[in-house]
């Protein structure tokens, strides 16, 4: 049944039916505005803000996301290092 629905939607898009276009845009695009950045470093975000490509709120949201990603990466590095230390201690104790 899904295959038929997709085929019908595809035909409606080919026929330039407005309802089909609206449906695809409504359900396939993110609900908020999308903006392509040229990188994901803090300097790239700042440049996009300075150029007017993103708003202050968007800059804040992106910066917060980058900060959280960095924290997760740091935590993962700590876990790896702790595992190495535990392995070393276990090896030394077994001698």
Q: What is the DSSP string of the chain?
A: -HHHHHHHHHHHHHTT-HHHHHHHHHHHS-SS-----S-SSHHHHHHHHHTTSS-HHHHHHHHHHHHHHHHHHHHHHHHHHHHHHHHHHHHHHT-
User: What percentage of residues in the chain have a pLDDT greater than 90?
Assistant: 69
Provide CB contacts within 8 A for 19, sequence distance 6+: 12
pLDDT at residue 30 tops 90: no
The mean pLDDT of the chain is: 90
Full-model pTM: 0.51
**Rg of the chain taking only CA atoms, in angstroms:** 24
> How high is the pLDDT of residue 20?
93
Q: What mean pLDDT comes out for the span 73-82?
A: 92
Give the separation between CA 53 and CA 63, rounded to whole angstroms: 15
pLDDT at residue 33 tops 80: no
Whether 9 contacts 23, CB under 8 Å? yes
């Amino acid at each position: 049944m899904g295959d038929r629905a997709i085929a019908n939607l595809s035909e409606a898009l080919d026929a330039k039916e407005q309802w089909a276009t609206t449906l695809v845009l409504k359900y396939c695009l993110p609900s908020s505005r999308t903006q392509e950045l040229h990188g994901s470093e803090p300097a790239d975000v700042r440049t996009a803000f300075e150029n007017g490509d993103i708003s202050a709120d968007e800059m804040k949201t992106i910066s917060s996301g980058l900060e959280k990603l960095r924290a997760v990466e740091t935590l993962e590095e700590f876990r790896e290092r702790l595992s190495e230390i535990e392995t070393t201690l276990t090896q030394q104790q077994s001698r």
